[in-house]
């Protein structure tokens, strides 16, 4: 007697975004009031739980700065050497600094003429400069308003004749925010920061303060600097330590398959030697999560869902993303470890479904690759604008970086790469700000339909219904010809 089915074929079903919808529920929550704040790792909380992918066509410092200013987090890719990585992290950390450090301050030398300093300030795009002697002592401050237009000042006069010599300074121990009151009170634009000997150590400007006030949702560390993440290999301790020293807030152990003995060992060692939070990924099963919760500060989920990813067809392995997230979250939530759903998100609806499945935050590549803030330039093909977007497992990306994300040796011959991703182009989309606005706004709508005002409440209250292929067709715009493109929907995406 044989069983009608081989036991090998008695397999569980796994679901992805299009297989499910959120069940609408009674609600007292207006979408605009839904609060998206959520943890991305044990110690970092985001205002909007959205990350830009660690890919060389998505996240470098420009993207990371914009993501953090708007409440999310950018994860800088690792197709660059360690010095370049440190420089990139530094750019994010310095972007919104209240005190411009000494080495970045434009200063005037007392021997300069008014014309010389005026030219220099114009060239460097600043409106004023502390006047310091060779010791670095602050003698005064000169600004464009001291120079023109009324002027008894002659262009050949020395700076010292035109400068304000009763200069208001703050001591380096003073909270830079107090400098604002001082500037307001004295109606001045900039205040030099000095040490005990009146030597210049930095500058606080009104412009810098106002700029920071513009970004109310910004995600900052305890020193007020923007937060950023960075991808590191599990096998490169020096890179991880350099990233930690450069004050990266989260290290993302970046592999295509983290449920691998060598990866887990490397990741664990790194997590023990750095101060930053360590997020480990990617995984997609409960068993993998069981191992990572022992030491990880966050777990990233996604085996093959990415838009440019061919892992599933090349290797035959993978896990549809809604099931993968739910499996990992079942384990991680018991240990208070945040879960990030990485890859395959095309619409805001997918992002909020990932949260309903148990994720605390979502990571996207293709959604952001077409924005101004992503690296690379805009190209025009057949009259339409595009930007390059490629998988980190594509031949091009592996050649300019590491194949170890896919746990492969660097081949000797170029033709010998076995890629797990493609090189592509994605429509040009304009600013990150408007893309993020659509994404977060759609997620808030989802929370409104479920009646949950916060992310934890939403995770608890949301339920799925299963959708047939007829239901999927019904979900999309159908039986019409779209005449005006919507900012958050393109049927061919
Ligand atoms: P989306 O769908 O947002 O996915 O474009 C971005 C995520 O895809 C992963 N990734 C890859 N996966 N081969 C893969 O199998 C690749 O070449 C590749 N490149 C990126 C990665 O997790 C990213 O965040």
Tens digit of pLDDT for each residue in 327-373? Answer: 999 999 999 999 999 999 999 999 999 999 999 999 999 999 999 99
Distance between Cα 391 and ligand 1 center (Å): 6
**Do 426 and 384 contact (CB within 8 A), yes or no?**
no
Q: What is the Cα–Cα distance from 393 to 402, expressed in whole angstroms?
A: 9
The answer, as to whether pTM is greater than 0.95, is: no
Distance between Cα 136 and ligand 1 center (Å): 50
The question of whether 405 is a catalytic residue gets the answer: yes
The catalytically annotated residue of 94, 268, 309, 461 is 309
Q: What is the Cα–Cα distance from 366 to 308, expressed in whole angstroms?
A: 8
CA dihedral 405, 411, 417, 421 (to 10 degrees): 10
Q: Is there a binding annotation on residue 358?
A: no
The question of whether 227 is a catalytic residue gets the answer: no
Q: What is the Cα–Cα distance from 169 to 472, expressed in whole angstroms?
A: 64
Residue 493 pLDDT exceeds 50: no
**What is the mean predicted confidence (pLDDT) over 255-277?**
97
Tokens of 9: 């074929």
**Do 233 and 280 contact (CB within 8 A), yes or no?**
no
Question: Do strands 339-342 and 298-301 pair parallel, antiparallel, or not at all (unpaired)?
Answer: parallel
Q: What is the Cα–Cα distance from 102 to 137, expressed in whole angstroms?
A: 12
Kindly give the residue spans of alpha helices, DSSP state H, lying in 258-316. 261-273, 286-292, 311-315
For the segment 74-104, what is each residue's pLDDT rounded down to a tens digit?
Answer: 999 999 999 999 999 999 998 887 888 888 8
ipTM of the complex: 0.95
Banded model confidence at residue 165, pLDDT cuts 50, 70, 90: confident
Q: Is there a binding annotation on residue 306?
A: yes
For the segment 101-127, what is each residue's pLDDT rounded down to a tens digit?
Answer: 888 888 999 999 988 998 888 888 888
For the segment 43-73, what is each residue's pLDDT rounded down to a tens digit?
Answer: 999 999 999 999 999 999 999 999 999 999 9
Q: Is there a binding annotation on residue 302?
A: yes
Mean pLDDT is highest, among 113-117, 193-197, 271-275, for: 271-275
Distance between Cα 190 and ligand 1 center (Å): 45
Exposed e or buried b per residue across 217-253, where buried means at least 16 C-beta atoms within 10 angstroms of its C-beta: bbbeeeeebbbbbbbbbbbbeebbbbbbebbbbbbbb
Q: Which pLDDT belongs to residue 150?
A: 53
Which residue from 308, 362, 403 has its CB within 8 A of the most atoms of ligand 1, so it is best to mutate?
308
**Do 372 and 366 contact (CB within 8 A), yes or no?**
no
Look at phi and psi of residue 336 and say left if phi exceeds 0, alpha if psi is from -120 to 50, else beta.
left
Q: What is the mean pLDDT of the chain?
A: 92
Helix (H) or strand (E) holding 363: strand 361-364
Q: What is the Cα–Cα distance from 334 to 321, expressed in whole angstroms?
A: 20
For the segment 405-424, what is each residue's pLDDT rounded down to a tens digit?
Answer: 777 777 877 778 888 888 89
Q: Ligand 1 pocket: which residues have CB below 6 Å?
A: 53, 55, 256, 282, 302, 304, 306-309, 311, 342-345, 363-367, 391-394, 420-421
The residues with which 171 forms a beta bridge, in sequence order, are 194
Q: Is there a binding annotation on residue 303?
A: yes
The catalytically annotated residue of 135, 237, 405, 461 is 405
Q: What is the Cα–Cα distance from 278 to 137, expressed in whole angstroms?
A: 43
Q: What is the Cα–Cα distance from 287 to 259, expressed in whole angstroms?
A: 8
């Amino acid at each position: 007697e044989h069983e009608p089915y081989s036991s090998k074929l008695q397999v569980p079903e796994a679901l992805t975004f299009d297989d499910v919808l959120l069940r609408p529920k009674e609600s007292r929550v207006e979408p605009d009031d839904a609060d998206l704040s959520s943890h991305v790792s044990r110690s970092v909380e985001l205002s909007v739980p959205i990350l830009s992918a660690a890919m060389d066509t998505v996240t470098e410092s420009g993207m990371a700065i914009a993501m953090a200013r708007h409440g999310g987090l950018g994860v800088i890719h690792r197709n660059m050497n360690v010095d370049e990585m440190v420089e990139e992290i530094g750019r994010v950390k310095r972007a919104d600094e209240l005190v411009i450090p000494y080495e970045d301050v434009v200063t005037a030398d007392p021997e300069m003429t008014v014309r010389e300093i005026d030219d220099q300030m114009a060239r460097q795009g600043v409106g004023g400069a502390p006047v310091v002697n060779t010791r670095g002592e602050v003698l005064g401050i000169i600004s464009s308003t001291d120079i023109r237009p009324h002027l008894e000042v002659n262009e050949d006069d020395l700076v010292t004749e035109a400068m304000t010599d009763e200069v208001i300074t703050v001591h380096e121990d003073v909270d830079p925010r107090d400098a604002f009151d001082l500037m307001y009170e004295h109606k001045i634009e900039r205040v030099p920061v000095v040490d005990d000997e009146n030597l210049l150590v930095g500058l606080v400007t009104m412009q810098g303060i106002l700029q920071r006030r513009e970004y109310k949702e910004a995600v900052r560390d305890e020193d007020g600097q923007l937060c950023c993440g960075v991808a590191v290999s599990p096998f490169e301790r020096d890179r991880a330590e350099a990233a930690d020293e450069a004050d990266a807030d989260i290290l993302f152990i970046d592999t295509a398959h983290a449920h691998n003995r060598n990866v887990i060992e490397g990741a664990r060692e790194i997590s023990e030697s750095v101060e930053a939070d360590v997020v480990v990924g990617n995984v997609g099963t409960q068993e993998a999560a069981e191992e990572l919760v022992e030491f990880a500060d966050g777990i990233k989920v996604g085996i093959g869902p990415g838009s440019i990813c061919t892992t599933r067809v090349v290797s035959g392995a993978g896990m549809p993303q809604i099931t993968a997230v739910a499996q990992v979250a079942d384990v991680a939530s018991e240990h208070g470890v945040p879960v990030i759903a990485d890859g395959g998100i095309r619409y805001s609806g997918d992002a909020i479904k990932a949260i309903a499945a148990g994720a605390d935050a979502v990571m996207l590549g293709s959604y952001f690759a077409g924005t101004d803030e992503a690296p690379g330039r805009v190209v025009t093909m057949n009259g339409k604008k595009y930007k390059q977007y490629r998988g980190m497992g594509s031949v091009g990306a592996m050649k300019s970086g590491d194949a170890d994300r896919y746990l492969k040796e660097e081949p000797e011959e170029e033709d010998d790469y076995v890629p797990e991703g493609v090189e592509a182009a994605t429509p040009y989309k304009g600013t990150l700000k408007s893309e993020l606005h659509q994404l977060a706004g759609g997620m808030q709508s989802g929370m409104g339909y479920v009646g949950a005002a916060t992310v934890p409440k939403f995770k608890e209250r949301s339920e799925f219904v299963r959708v047939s292929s007829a239901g999927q067709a019904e979900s999309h715009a159908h039986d019409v010809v779209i005449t005006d493109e919507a900012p958050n929907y393109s049927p061919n995406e």
